[in-house]
Structure 1
């Protein structure tokens, strides 16, 4: 029997879970909707302020890792430990937790000691806020030529960083921030909590 994921080094994890890009699948939206309902059932509607499908799998036509990213925004009065406990008991693996200035909890689902499961999810849990990911997603949904440019960049970076997820993510940052800034000008503060 192989090692458990928690026993693997970062290099072993990157080798087991390389950067894979695939053509967009209409299934991503269905995966999101099913998982969204499950999350609501797990932690309760009263804790949830907003829940959104974010990331490349939310953009029709955009090449993406076959992973559905979900941004779960919760009430500032929510019991963080209770939410963490409930999600962990529902097969979500806590990957990181930052709670110094603002909450940023990341969970994964679909990572196995044998590689990716058929369905893979990343869940980003934060307090209700004015998050860049929502603006970037909305911008790419409207500006197909920028989404195409982003897809080409991701293809180039995949070749370079297939087994280094951190470098792959870091190398996309400049592009993402550039168009998020433009999106914020175009959309105003549509996600600012009221």
Structure 2
């Protein structure tokens, strides 16, 4: 059995297809558990905010069974040290952008497929991120959440084994409703 690092993108997409499931109340518990772990692990970095984002944060919404977490640290945080601590704790680094001070990591991807609990962690400097507005909008407006669900279900059929294309195909919808949320909610998530 190959390690994940040895697999091609196509092999990874085959092993980890787009799976959509009914909302589970446990997603909130999964988030809380990991939020506590991250808060302890990164205590020296003065976490500014940590939020459950993505479809699993919207009650009743069909979602990939993956809990997305947005963790915000102070501007200029030590990217290398944070990366090392997270990797030592079992997170797999997917993308590191030194210029933008962002990290994208995951946990729960194994050579045999998905673990029981799967996470995506997005580490950024404190900011005014669209993901927070989009989540808030879907939580407030069930009709928009249903439209998003319909879109995801239609895209799953086409892109089950192409995660990048699946994500790209959702972009226009996400941007449209993130903008609507910003218009309605103002600067509610702007760093103070």
Q: TM-score band, normalised by the shorter chain?
A: over 0.9
1:186 corresponds to which residue? 184
What aligned pairs does 1:29-40 form with structure 2 within 5 A after superposition? 29-40=28-39
Match of 1:171 among 169, 172, 176: 169
Structure 1 CA distance for aligned equivalents of residues 45 and 168 of structure 2: 35
1:85 corresponds to which residue? 84
Structure 2 CA distance for aligned equivalents of residues 171 and 46 of structure 1: 35
TM-score by length of 2: 0.98
1:149 corresponds to which residue? 147
Q: Secondary structure at the match of 2:107?
A: strand
2:52 corresponds to which residue? 53
Structure 2 CA distance for aligned equivalents of residues 103 and 26 of structure 1: 32
What aligned pairs does 1:103-114 form with structure 2 within 5 A after superposition? 103-114=101-112
2:71 corresponds to which residue? 72
1:120 corresponds to which residue? 118
* Offset from partner CA, 1:126-153 (integer Å, 9 cap, x none): 0000000000000000000000110010
* Offset from partner CA, 1:75-122 (integer Å, 9 cap, x none): 11422111111100000000101122x222001000000000000000
Structure 1 CA distance for aligned equivalents of residues 122 and 16 of structure 2: 19
TM-score by length of 1: 0.97
Structure 1 CA distance for aligned equivalents of residues 182 and 87 of structure 2: 34
Structure 1 CA distance for aligned equivalents of residues 44 and 151 of structure 2: 38
2:76/2:125 contact within 8 Å kept? no
Please list every run of 5 or more consecutive structure 2 residues that lacks an aligned counterpart in the other structure.
none
1:47/1:78 contact within 8 Å kept? no
